[in-house]
Amino acid sequence: MLRNYFKIALRNLWKHKTNTFINLLGLTVAFTICLLLLLSVYFEFSFDKFHQQPEDLYRTYFKVQQPEKPILQSSMPEPMLKALKEQFPAVQYGTRYNRNGCEIVYNGKHFFNELAFGDPDFFTMFNFPLEKGNAPQALEGRNNIVLTRATANAIFGNENPIGKQLQVQSGGPWKAFIVSAVAAEIPTTSSIRFDAVVPFEHGFTYPATVGKWDATNHDIILRLKHGTDVKAFEKAVQGLINLQYKDYIGDLKRDGAVAAPNGQYMELLMQPYLNMHTDSSMRGAGETISRSYLYMLLSVAVFVMFIACINFINLSVGRSFTRTREVGLRKTLGALPFQVGLQFWGEAAIICALALLISIPVFYVVLPYYKAVFGSSLETGVLNQPVIIASIIGSFLLVTLLAGGYPALVMTRMDAVNILKGKLRLKTSGGLRNGLIIGQFAIAILLIGCTLVAWNQLNFLRARPLGYNSSQVVSIPVGQEVNGREALELLRQKLNAEPSVLSVTGLSKNMGVGIDGGSYTFSLGFDYKNRNISMEWLNVGYDFTQTMDLAMASGRDFSRNFSTDSSGIVINEQMARKMGVKDPVGEILQIEELNLPMKVIGVVKDFNFQSLHRPVEPMGLVMYKEMPINYLLVKVRPDNLPVIMGKLKTHWAQIAPRSEFRGSFLDENINRQYNREERFTQIFVYAAVVAIVLSCLGLFALAVLAIMQRTREIGIRKALGASTVSIVQLITKDFVKLIVIAMIIATPLAWYFMSIWLKDFAFSVQIQWWWLLAAGLIALAVALCTIGYQSLKAAFANPVKSLKTE
């Protein structure tokens, strides 16, 4: 019997090739997209789960009730870890963590790597297995260094690296290290990544921060004893925070900060380590991805699969009414409802199985393009994991049950007598069909509306004036080979006689995101007239304002004619407003942490030195020798830019012969910092296109079925003198009504969701009503084009042939 059902199912699928192709295409596209998106989400949420008992790992962070708003900060002071381990038995292990680029020299060969700084517990609390060496002692020695397998192979080849001496430089003087262990390769799902690890005390900022509770520059990760009540632990730690930050808490109260509901002004809280990768509210260890972004990917996957299933249900139910005589005869001849349902469900299962089988090789073909477009780190190995295979099978059975089960249920409930009398028509399931059409077009319009809003916001971010010139300025990362200040002077000398170069300067923090992807921030709070003020610091070289075309509001810029400018500061207008002084030029800022009074010599007009996600914050330009110069900025003439870039590359090879030239124009860097928004927009674009195409494929097939069932009616109307326009209106008006209802549903949803998304930006567009109206009109226009051809074809058909149709 099953063999007979299978043969009949194949014959029916082949007989109705158009419907079979539409269903197969829709489900294949849906399965492929769902595989890509769901596996991407799974991959991102699987970060750091390879550690043993990862639920006991936590990253510490401060929650500070600032007068303006509460802030979260993962950067910790140097003495914090020691105090936590000594005073709280719940702490089993703990490590400080920071990282920086480094240069390693062995036997005259130079290697550039990523260097991590940690404590002796590092390899005991984390599951980074050591292939050589012992975990507890790996970082015990002050000059020990642990290499990954790839780094050790690159440096030593077939030699045994244990005990070998290396010279390492990372933001400070060269130091000698002894290789104490070799670690296995770091899993791709690790938030912490490194090529080598050395004791934390070798960090280039360590000497200036040791023992200071008010200087923060690293993460702290703890492993608490299994079963520890985290809330109780946080409450116990509060006494330490209140003691060490008594004065700072007093300043917060003085400045008008409002206490948290628990009455605290500053807390040390625990962030689950497993949440760190998907929590973008704090900077720190590893790169993060917004959890809302991942939920958006899930939503798109569900939407696409929902639309494909709607098409399948509508077409299956619609086509089933063309097979009513077959069902009637089967029931008359004694077929049970279960047997009739099994026949129709079997046909659905065959199409779903074929679609799934086709989607897997398509997934492998599309994956490289998907990774390139959306910046995904997804690996094909994820697809081979048992939990993923089980999930795919379970999802397949669910989709098959939903998409094929309802049409089968409809057919089993048909009355055989009415079937044979030909009294059943497509309208029997019209309510559900119409609801499904409304649902799929509402999703398509929602995605189109979100696309238009995201597109306009992205264009706004790229076009908004930032307060400085970015089109003619080249940013060159200094790297580790040379000192930033020395490189700046050397480059100035080499470009001094170059007519195409207008100015050269240096900067501690890149503007935007350069090719190197590096970042550096430095903020500092201090008291000014009995008020605590926090300020971002940018360390610059001479000619910075000239290079960036910044406008001075008052005072002057740094000048080589004033030897005292090393203790001078140029502030922005936002900082001047924060100080509350009408003319801040000449004011003295007493920075206790630097043990240096700084005189305000000028005020520069506000400019967006951060991305437009954040408002312009108080900022000061300084020429402080203790702060690094990490980037060199070269302002050039707009003509012959490729020639100029070639010359810069040549000069850089002379200054840092072992370092790669990674210069880029600032306007490219600015655009690069909105890559997340660009990916967000691209996902909506692709999802909207897929949604509207799948919806219209289903609509096309439904229009064909509707026209087939009204062929005689159309013939009678034409014979009685109905016009072509009236026939087209007759066929299309019901579909147009459904799409208009979908517009009414989707428009406020698109406005609501995108209003929430735009709140992430300090500067954003206003959602225009006509954007959302355009989304509905686009869907309506595509739908009319889809059914228009079939409507015109029916309207122009010979009424004599139509009246002969049974």
Give dist(CA 570, CA 541) in Å, integer: 12
Calculate mean pLDDT across residues 748-776. 86
Which letter, b or e, does each residue of 355-367 get, where b requires 16 or more Cβ atoms within 10 Å of its Cβ?
A: bbebbeebbeeeb
Whether the pLDDT of residue 718 is over 80: the answer is: no
- What pLDDT sits at residue 705? 64
Q: Say whether both 103 and 21 belong to one domain.
A: no
Considering 203, 238, 263, which residue would you say is the last residue of a domain? 203
Q: How far is CA 406 from each of CA 326, 338, 373, 464, 497, rounded to the nearest angstrom?
A: 18, 13, 38, 52, 79
- Give the Å distances, CA to CA, from 678 to 448, 487, 752: 15, 35, 20
Q: What is the dihedral of CA 235, 237, 239, 245, to 10 degrees?
A: -120
Kindly indicate the confidence band of residue 41, based on its pLDDT and cuts at 50, 70 and 90: confident
253 lies in some domain: no
Domain match, 500 and 426 both: no
Closest CA to 683 of 422, 301, 230, 426: 301
Distance CA 682, CA 678 (A): 6
Using one digit for the tens of pLDDT, what is the confidence trace for 8-36?
656 666 666 666 777 788 788 888 888 88
Please state the φ and ψ torsions of residue 322, each to the nearest 5 degrees.
-90, -5
Binned at pLDDT 50, 70 and 90, residue 286 comes out as low
* Cα atoms in the 13 Å half-sphere on the side-chain side of 680: 23
Letter for the amino acid at 790? Q
pLDDT at 427: 45
Please give the backbone phi and psi of residue 130, each rounded to the nearest 5 degrees, phi first.
-95, 125
Q: What is the mean pLDDT of the chain?
A: 81
Please determine, for residue 233, whether its predicted confidence score (pLDDT) is greater than 90.
yes
CA dist 195 and 192 (Å) reads 11
Extended strands (E) in 478-618: 501-507, 523-527, 532-539, 552-555, 568-572, 588-591, 596-604
What percent of the chain is modeled with pLDDT above 90? 21
Domain boundary among 654, 672, 690: 672
Q: What three-state secondary structure class fits 435? A: helix
> Average pLDDT, stretch 539-553?
89
Maximum mean pLDDT: which of 127-136, 273-282, 377-386, 793-802: 127-136
Residue 58 within any structural domain of the chain: no
> Do residues 316 and 427 both lie within one domain?
yes
Range of 623's domain?
A: 473-672
| pLDDT tens-digit series, residues 499-543 | 888 889 998 888 877 666 666 667 777 778 877 788 888 889 888
Is residue 244, in this structure, part of any structural domain at all?
no
Q: What are the counts of helices (DSSP H) followed by strands (DSSP E) for the chain?
A: 24, 23
* 751 within a domain of the structure (yes/no): yes
Q: Clarify whether residues 654 and 758 are in a common domain.
A: no
Q: Please state the rounded mean pLDDT for residues 680-690.
A: 78
Is the predicted pLDDT of residue 223 greater than 80, yes or no? yes
Higher-pLDDT residue of 80 and 781 is 80
Q: Is residue 645 part of a domain?
A: yes
Task: State mean pLDDT over 74-80.
Answer: 91
Domain count, the chain: 3
Q: Does residue 446 sit in the same domain as residue 483?
A: no
What band does 426 get if pLDDT is binned at 50, 70 and 90? very low
Rounded CA gap, 514 and 235, in Å? Answer: 42
Query: Which range is most confident: 391-395, 416-420, 520-524?
Result: 391-395
Closest by CA position to 301, among listed 188, 400, 399, 397: 399
Residue 660 contacts residue 482 (beta carbons within 8 Å): no
Residue 352's pLDDT band (cuts 50, 70, 90)? confident
Q: Are 661 and 693 in a shared domain?
A: no
Using one digit for the tens of pLDDT, what is the confidence trace for 140-182? 988 999 999 999 999 998 889 999 999 998 877 889 999 999 9
At residue 468, the 3 state secondary structure works out as coil
Average pLDDT over residues 486-499: 87
Residue with tokens 């099978």: 393
For residues 531 and 392, membership in a common domain is answered with: no
In angstroms, how far apart are the furthest CA atoms of the chain? Answer: 106
Domain boundary among 672, 690, 722: 672
**Start-end of H helices in 200-274:** 206-209, 230-244, 246-254
User: What is the predicted pLDDT for the residue at 369?
Assistant: 82
Q: How far is the C-alpha of 154 from the C-alpha of 160, rounded, in Å?
A: 12
Q: Is the dihedral of CA 69, 72, 76, 80 positive or negative?
A: positive
444 and 516 co-located in one domain: no
Confidence of residue 220 (pLDDT cuts 50, 70, 90): very high
Most confident of 74-78, 304-308, 339-343, 368-372: 74-78
Residues in the chain: 806
In a domain, 378, yes or no: yes
Q: What are phi and psi of 98, to 5 degrees?
A: -155, 165
303-307, 400-404, 742-746: the lowest-pLDDT one:
400-404
Per mean pLDDT, which range of 307-321, 356-370, 504-518, 572-586 is the poorest?
A: 307-321
CB atoms within 10 A of CB 480: 22
Query: How high is the pLDDT of residue 338?
Result: 60
CA distances from 140 to 51, 133, 145 (A): 22, 12, 10
Q: What is the mean pLDDT of residues 217-238?
A: 94
Please name the residue that has the structure tokens 């490189």: 487
695 touches 507 (CB < 8 A): no
CA distance 742 to 405: 26
Q: Are residues 597 and 696 in the same domain?
A: no
Q: Model-level pTM?
A: 0.78
* Distance from C-alpha of 518 to C-alpha of 114, rounded to nearest angstrom: 12
pLDDT in tens, 116-142: 999 999 999 999 999 998 888 999 988
Domain presence at residue 249: no
**Residue 269 · residue 61 · CB < 8 Å:** yes
Q: How much is the pLDDT for 706?
A: 66
- Check pLDDT > 80 for residue 289: no
- The arithmetic mean of pLDDT across residues 488-494, rounded, is 89
Question: How many CB atoms lie under 10 A from the CB of residue 309?
Answer: 23
**Contact present, 557 and 589 (Cβ < 8 Å):** no
Instruction: Measure the CA–CA gap between 659 and 601, rounded to whole angstroms.
Output: 37
Please indicate, yes or no, whether residues 647 and 740 belong to a single structural domain of this protein.
no
**Which one has a higher pLDDT value, 744 or 318?**
744
What does residue 309 show for φ and ψ, rounded to 5 degrees?
Answer: -65, -40
pLDDT of 264 higher than 80: yes
**Pairing, β 532-539 against β 619-622:** parallel
User: Is 645 in the same domain as 515?
Assistant: yes
> 796-805, pLDDT tens digit by residue?
665 555 555 5
- Provide the terminal-to-terminal Cα distance of the chain, rounded to the nearest Å: 32
Quick check: 477 pLDDT over 70? yes
Strands 596-604 and 568-572 come out as parallel
Residue 102 or 51, more confident? 51
Residue 790 has pLDDT above 70, yes or no: no
Tokens of 725: 């326009």
The answer to whether residue 387 scores a pLDDT higher than 70 is: yes
Which residues does 192 contact at the CB level (< 8 Å), separation at least 6? 97, 116, 126, 186, 285, 286
Q: Do the beta carbons of residue 762 and residue 612 sit within 8 Å? A: yes
The residue among 508, 621, 501, 627 whose CA lies nearest residue 557 is 621
In a domain, 282, yes or no: no
Do 524 and 451 belong together in one domain? no
pLDDT top residue among 555 and 322:
555
In angstroms and rounded to an integer, the radius of gyration of the C-alpha atoms of the chain is: 34
For residues 136 and 123, give the distance between their C-alpha atoms in angstroms, rounded to a whole number.
7
Over 70: is that where the pLDDT of 428 sits? Answer: no
